[in-house]
Structure 1
Amino acid sequence: MRSAREPRLTPLGCGSTGAGRSTSASGVPGKPAATSSADRGGGRGTYGSAPADRVIAYAGVPNVGRVARITGTEETALTADINVKLLTLHTMMPVPGAPRDSLVVTCASPNLPLKDETYDLFDAITSTFRFVSAQGTTVRAVR
């Protein structure tokens, strides 16, 4: 059961989602201070073991504010008999006007050899995200 202080996560896109807290944050998109699942004893995810390279961190998204991010390599079924490894970035965007809700934006790519460049691309994509009011103005969540 989720405690009253835990955010509710709404998955958007493919892949599994999870939530966590880092011990500190740099606030720099793509280069946040972080802890890995190995640093926290490995942990277990909802769907099995957490990937060894999973990193949970805070970052800043220009039109949203402080967000939580989870990066790592996940394996998923491409077809019934073929699995593929994917680099993933899950970004939990706080929803304006709903302090316990987050929108989860997931980016995934099989481009493992270009890991740093792929995460830079994911950061650039998610940095364009914003919530817009009915009047067309950008709305930031306050947490």
Structure 2
Amino acid sequence: MSEEPTDSALPSQPIGVHLLVPKAWQEFDTHSDTADQSIREIVAERIKERPDLAEHKGTLRKLLKNSAGLARENNVVYSGAMMEVIDGDTMTASLTVSVSQAENEQTGEVAQTGLETLHSAMNPIAPGSRPTDPWRKVSLVELDDGVRAVRSEGIEDVELPDDRGSYRAVTMQTFVPYPGNDPKVAVITASTPQLALAEPMLQLFEAITATFRFVYAVAEGENTERSA
């Protein structure tokens, strides 16, 4: 997936972002007027490919609707999902990429988005006594293209929009500050309700997120894209 280019970007600024997503993941619309139809269509398409998913149709739609609601609140430029059945159990996961400008919640002014600032704003949570208790690890990471980022990963209670409750999920969020003095931050968020598979799912999320890169305009005479 790629974010739409930004016309106002200077030559040295990114015009978009790019992320490689496995073919089995399907992109869906998150707009409030069209999300339901988009979700019905991709679930139906996936069931044609995997008839064993038919009995889980309601669960799949619910997952995607929850993901669409969260996406609308976070300036999402991509939203996709994985839907599988393994040994009779439904396996689902979602991934979004958002690009937004950090702001101070109290003053409304543009906030700093450096790695140290982002890292210090996140608090780790020690693991509980049960494997499914919430926990959070915060770290600095380097993606495949040399881009540095701040990552939060673990098991968290995710609040649903419109006060519709919450659900517990394995979650990984990677915060990538735009280069230079650009105040924007790209946030890659991946999650799954499969708490018992926390370790392998976090490994999958890490592999997908590692492919993130900024996309730059190609100067006349060049035949490749430049990545940060």
Q: Deviating runs (4+, > 6 A) in structure 1?
A: 2-5, 78-82
Normalized against structure 2, the TM-score is what? 0.39
Maintained 8 Å contact 1:88/1:106: yes
Structure with greater proportional helix content:
2
Equivalents in 1 of 2:138, 2:176: separation in Å? 14
Equivalents in 2 of 1:84, 1:126: separation in Å? 23
Deviation at 1:53, TM superposition (A): 0.8
Amino acid at match of 2:119: G
Amino acid at match of 1:65: V
Amino acid at match of 2:145: N
Q: How does 1:99-138 map to 2 (within 5 A)?
A: 99-135=182-218, 136-138=224-226
Corresponding residue of 1:47 = none
Q: Which runs of 5+ in 2 are unaligned?
A: 1-103, 127-132, 219-223
Maintained 8 Å contact 2:175/2:187: yes
Q: Percent identity?
A: 25
Which stretch shows the higher mean deviation, 57-66 or 116-125? 57-66
Amino acid at match of 1:20: H
Corresponding residue of 2:145 = 63
Deviation at 1:80, TM superposition (A): 7.4
Maintained 8 Å contact 2:174/2:189: yes
Q: Deviations over 1:61-96 (max 9, x none)?
A: 011421100112222349976742111111011213
Residue 36 in structure 1 maps to residue 113 in structure 2: no
Corresponding residue of 1:84 = 167
Equivalents in 2 of 1:102, 1:81: separation in Å? 27
Equivalents in 1 of 2:163, 2:182: separation in Å? 40
Report which of the two structures shows the higher radius of gyration computed on alpha carbons.
Answer: 2
Count the aligned residue pairs. Answer: 107
Maintained 8 Å contact 1:91/1:105: yes
> Helix, strand or coil: the match of 1:114?
helix
Partner residue of 2:154 out of 47, 53, 72:
72
Deviation at 1:56, TM superposition (A): 1.0
Maintained 8 Å contact 2:170/2:193: yes
Partner residue of 1:20 out of 111, 114, 119:
119
Amino acid at match of 2:189: T
Structure with greater proportional strand content:
1
Amino acid at match of 2:207: A
Maintained 8 Å contact 1:21/1:68: no
Q: CA RMSD in A?
A: 3.5
